[in-house]
Amino acid sequence: MGNISCGGHGRRTAKSMDESECEITSPRIRLNDGRFLAYREIGVPKEEAEFKIIIVHGFGSNKDMSFSASQGLIEELKIYMLLYDRAGYADSDPNPERSLKSEALDIEQLADQLELGPKFYVIGVSMGSYPIWSCLKLQGVALVAAVVNYSWPSLPKSLIKDDFRRNLVKLTLFVLKHMPSLLYWWMNQKCLPTANVMEKNPVFFSERDQEVLKRTPGFELLSENKIEQRSIFDNLRGDILVGLSKWEFDPLKLNNPFPKDERSVHLWVGYEDKVVPVELQRHVMEELPWIKYHEIPHGGHLIVYDTEVCESILRALLLNEEPAKYIPLPGTPKLIAAA
């Protein structure tokens, strides 16, 4: 989520010059494979910071996403924040070899080239959470409205068999793998509304989410004038395939990287999230009890736009504070077929 600069693409390599002639004004680093990665710095100057955080945006978003903590808290805690365009988004070059490993390596190289030092934190939002599973040993990690992959082998079939999202993901992956050109045509045909099928849809967004979308741009990359650019479509396709296809490992089988509690991993979820149902998140909590679990009673998928929640995320991650109001009540409701 967030504002999309340059129509979703800036000026790139010769491969994508036909889509856009926008000048890139964002600072960028050059990665080891020759790609450029664009970034944005906010908060206090890096040299004055007590805490340094990399924020990883989600699907259809970019480095201009909002993280709604107040400037007062950021200055009080002396926080430096680094946001970047993941591969192929906005002003960063696409990566035809995108993978779980490459996404994690992009974070590592970004931190190295900007000299963040050995102690920095990472916050992954929604689809931007999947690279974080390879970064758990950093100073501290927060997954916010994190994607749960239905392909994880240890997810109980009894938990997901009636979840309509599972079948939707399976169908989407099949079409993206085997019929991408057909989907591209479908998304751009003019007879039926298709491109914005997810935007503001009550099937996917709670009432609070829809209120957020009234005052924010939403999934701009899914709008008709953006999705018509084949390079944008191909990038979104690659992001979904990596994030939701089978992985090389099962996160639910990971061991606690911090047995002495010297660092922490946090999971923040909205009880009313219709994109990733709370029952799946609670199962993650049960399988990985070393993750500190926080549940927002009236939150949807877009909890990153709630100032109070964002400030609680920072205080828990950086100061190890436990917000009692976000501790879930005992008992896990059964997963229902539709939200």
Q: What's the 3-state SS for the chain?
A: CCCCHHHHECCCCHHHCCCCCCCCCCCEEECCCCCEEEEEEEECCHHHCCEEEEEECCCCCCCCCCCCCCHHHHHHHCEEEEEECCCCCECCCCCCCCCHHHHHHHHHHHHHHCCCCCCCEEEEEHHHHHHHHHCCCCCEEEEECCCCCCCCCCCCHHHHCCCHHHHHHHHHHHHHHHCHHHHHHHHHCCCCCCCCCCCCCCCCCCHHHHHHHHHCCCCHHHCHHHHCCHHHHHHHHHHHHHHHCCCCCCHHHCCCCCCCCCCEEEEEEECCCCCCCHHHHHHHHHHCCCCEEEEECCCCCCHHHCHHHHHHHHHHHHHCCCCHHHCCCCCCCCCCCCC
| Domain-embedded: residue 48 | yes
**46: domain range?**
5-326
pLDDT, greater one: 62 or 227: 62
Q: Is the pLDDT of residue 259 over 90?
A: no
| Domain-embedded: residue 283 | yes
pLDDT, greater one: 185 or 294: 294
- Give the pLDDT score at 77: 98
Task: Provide the whole-model pTM.
Answer: 0.87
Out of 54-58, 81-85, 200-204, least confident range = 200-204
Helix 230-244 × helix 164-178 angle, to 10°: 130
Tell which residue, 248, 218, 230, has the closest CA to residue 101.
248
CA 289, CA 282: separation in Å to the nearest integer? 10
Residue whose tokens read 């996404």: 103
| Domain-embedded: residue 84 | yes
Residue 68: HSE in the Cβ half-sphere, 13 Å Cα cutoff: 15
| Domain-embedded: residue 339 | no
What is the domain count for the chain?
1
Q: Is the pLDDT of residue 195 over 50?
A: no
- Give the pLDDT score at 331: 55
- Give the pLDDT score at 220: 52
CA 242, CA 147: separation in Å to the nearest integer? 12
The domain that holds 206 is classified in CATH as 3.40.50.1820
pLDDT digits (tens, 9 = 90+) for 82-111: 999 999 999 999 999 999 999 999 999 999
| Domain-embedded: residue 337 | no
| Domain-embedded: residue 112 | yes
CA 117, CA 30: separation in Å to the nearest integer? 18
CA 17, CA 8: separation in Å to the nearest integer? 13
| Domain-embedded: residue 333 | no
Q: In the numeric block, which tokens belong to residue 281?
A: 């998140």
Tell which residue, 58, 95, 65, has the closest CA to residue 82.
65
pLDDT digits (tens, 9 = 90+) for 125-174: 999 999 999 999 898 999 999 999 999 999 999 999 999 999 999 999 99
Question: In which band, very low, low, confident or very high, does the pLDDT at 20 lie, cut at 50, 70 and 90?
Answer: very low
Out of 18-22, 125-129, 166-170, 261-265, least confident range = 18-22
- Give the pLDDT score at 17: 37
